[in-house]
Amino acid sequence: MGKITMADVAKKAGVSKSTVSQFLNKRYEYMREDTRKRIEAAIEELHYQPNYLARSLKQKRTSTVGIIVANIMHRFSTEVSRSIEDFFNKHDIHTIVCNADNDPEKEKKYIEMLRAKQVDGLIIFPTGENFDLYKRMMKEGYPIVFMDRKVPDLIAPSVVSNNIEATKTTIEHFMENGHKQIAIATEPLTISTRVERQEGYKKALQDNGIEIRQPFMISANIKKIKKELEELFALDDPPSAILAGNDLVFLEVLEFAKEHKLKVGKDFALAVFDNIPFAHLVHPPVTTIAQPSYHMGEKASELLLKQINKEEIENHELTFPCELIIRDSSKELNNNTVI
């Protein structure tokens, strides 16, 4: 038997092709319940698969959106992507997830590939280094939302966290527990989130009259984090507290501590800026700065869908507060340990 067509479904159900088309497009307002059931039964019995390409050509939409994630290994990125997929699934829109590895060339290829596939819009965790491409898409009116990161000098729909305020609050929490020798470790300062977290760190020190020391501000590739920590803890006055800039840095800090027989919460206090689902299960339980990732994904999806539907957007930049969840890893000051 050849490919099942809409005409075959219509004949089986005893209705017109236009009625089947209305059913497939969920236009049920004037359709009787028994008609819907006959069409459903015919589709199931014939194993009919709608021709989405033909539908997209007719509707000038593919009912598909793209998500370009900077690094899918981050828990935050995974949670946001899940939220976006859940949202669009409810609207019968498919999602394609691509991982750019924080590589601007890879990001550019994915943008061009997804647009060639005529996806209806994109949600991007931008590298920030394809400015001309971003700007061209904005000028063309192509639906786009930036997630987690800002692109300097470009006004675009974006969803971000209050990185500066959240970091400042965390550093001041360390201070309240007697810490003055406080370090921050992030990946290289190539994107707005990392820059803002370091800015919040410096602002907390300045506002509290504590000297900003360059060795206490690590910004290195993941593979070099442990080496930087070794140099930091070899100082005569090593830090008594560390803020890990994300979950991947956090894992490097834990591995460093294990290798050098240092105990988190005893030899140094620790907090991490990211959503760590097991943070309360490790010993000691780890203080985290939790971002409302799922809610942020929903709002990014709403912004994108409004653009796809040609609706007006009132607020181009949505900034979400974070929650400092205090646990045992970041509490009272202990004696510094030199390695």
pLDDT at 45: 86
pLDDT at 330: 84
Beta strand segments in the chain, E: 64-69, 94-99, 121-124, 144-147, 158-161, 182-186, 217-219, 241-244, 269-273, 287-290, 317-320, 323-325
Do 157 and 303 fall within a single domain?
Answer: yes
Do 32 and 177 fall within a single domain?
Answer: no
CA 199 – CA 194 distance, rounded (Å): 9
Q: What is the CATH number of the domain that holds 17?
A: 1.10.260.40
CA 299 – CA 306 distance, rounded (Å): 11
Q: Are 63 and 92 within 8 A, CB to CB?
A: yes
At residue 271, what is the residue type? Answer: A
CA 256 – CA 218 distance, rounded (Å): 14
What domain range is 28 assigned to? Answer: 6-50
Q: How many structural domains does the chain have?
A: 3
Do 215 and 316 fall within a single domain?
Answer: no
190-219 pLDDT per residue, tens: 999 999 999 999 999 999 999 999 999 999
Do 125 and 273 fall within a single domain?
Answer: no
When pLDDT is averaged across residues 78-85 and rounded to a whole number, the result is 97
Give, as one character, the DSSP assignment of residue 138.
Answer: H
Residue 94 lies in a domain: yes
Q: Are 183 and 233 within 8 A, CB to CB?
A: no
Do 237 and 256 fall within a single domain?
Answer: yes
Question: In which element (H, E) is residue 43 found?
Answer: helix 33-46
pLDDT at 336: 42
At residue 170, what is the residue type? Answer: T
332 token code pair: 């009272």
At residue 59, what is the residue type? Answer: Q
pLDDT at 337: 40
Q: Are 9 and 42 within 8 A, CB to CB?
A: yes
CA 10 – CA 323 distance, rounded (Å): 55
Residue 143 lies in a domain: yes
Residue 258 lies in a domain: yes
pLDDT at 303: 97
pLDDT at 62: 87
Q: What is the CATH number of the domain that holds 267?
A: 3.40.50.2300
167 token code pair: 């970091």
Q: Which of 54-68, 103-117, 227-241 has the lowest mean pLDDT?
A: 54-68
**Of 92 and 158, which is predicted with more confidence?**
158
Q: Are 323 and 289 within 8 A, CB to CB?
A: yes
Helix (H, G, I), strand (E, B) or coil at 314: coil
Residue 337 lies in a domain: no
Give, as one character, the DSSP assignment of residue 226.
Answer: H
Q: Are 269 and 184 within 8 A, CB to CB?
A: no
Do 219 and 109 fall within a single domain?
Answer: no
Q: In what order do the strands lie in the sheet with 269-273?
A: 217-219, 182-186, 241-244, 269-273, 287-290, 323-325
> pLDDT at residue 115 above 70?
yes
When pLDDT is averaged across residues 224-249 and rounded to a whole number, the result is 96
15-58 pLDDT per residue, tens: 888 888 888 877 777 788 888 889 889 888 888 877 655 555 55
Residue 336 lies in a domain: no
Instruction: State pTM to two decimals.
Output: 0.81
When pLDDT is averaged across residues 101-125 and rounded to a whole number, the result is 96
Residue 301 lies in a domain: yes
Residue 212 lies in a domain: yes
**Could you give the angle at the alpha carbon of 170 between the alpha carbons of 188 and 182, nearest 5°?**
65
Least Cα distance to 287 among 188, 179, 190, 208 occurs for: 179
Do 69 and 157 fall within a single domain?
Answer: yes
> pLDDT at residue 73 above 70?
yes
Count CB neighbours of 2 within 10 A.
5
Give the model's confidence band at 334: pLDDT under 50 very low, under 70 low, under 90 confident, else very high.
Answer: low
Is the preceding omega at residue 284 within 30 degrees of 0, hence cis? Answer: yes
When pLDDT is averaged across residues 85-99 and rounded to a whole number, the result is 95
By DSSP bridging, strand 64-69 and strand 94-99 are parallel
Do 212 and 111 fall within a single domain?
Answer: no
Q: Are 330 and 270 within 8 A, CB to CB?
A: yes
When pLDDT is averaged across residues 124-152 and rounded to a whole number, the result is 95
Looking at every residue in the chain, the average pLDDT score rounds to 91
Give the model's confidence band at 185: pLDDT under 50 very low, under 70 low, under 90 confident, else very high.
Answer: very high
When pLDDT is averaged across residues 171-187 and rounded to a whole number, the result is 96
Do 184 and 276 fall within a single domain?
Answer: yes
Do 193 and 206 fall within a single domain?
Answer: yes
**Could you give the angle at the alpha carbon of 106 between the alpha carbons of 105 and 111, nearest 5°?**
100
Do 107 and 177 fall within a single domain?
Answer: no
Residue 55 lies in a domain: no
Do 123 and 27 fall within a single domain?
Answer: no
